[in-house]
Amino acid sequence: QVQLVESGGGPVQAGGSLRLSCAASGRTFSTTKMGWFRQASGTQREFVAAINWATFGTRYEDSVKGRFTISRDKAKNTVYLEMNSLKPEDTAVYYCAADTSSNSLYALRYDSWGQGTQVTVSA
């Protein structure tokens, strides 16, 4: 199992920026990909972005393309989500996830999840 701890959330005004971090520990050597998901109040959790742990390949949900950037520091076992030009509709709890079974960025099943960090964007 991989343990994940997110940080970096908080309140921000529309148009502002935040950087989320997710520190991984445990069986990180078996990680194939990591991703970010979000869940707004009253909605289902949705995919935001993912990164292949070996190839640096990335994938984004359409509404965040050009605004969000996922990256990773393999030495620190940390994945980041740089969020720019934030909009009120980006308000949600953001979750980090790690997978050890598939390196496909289109596969949405992940093995491990963090506890989430709240991002609130005010108009």
For residue 47, give the nearest of 5, 120, 123, 99 by alpha carbon: 99
Closest C-alpha among 14, 68, 73 to residue 38: 68
Tokens representing residue 29 in the block: 């050597």
pLDDT tens, the chain, 123 aa long: 899 999 999 999 999 999 999 999 988 888 899 999 999 999 999 999 999 988 999 999 999 999 999 999 988 999 999 999 999 999 999 999 999 998 899 988 999 999 999 999 999
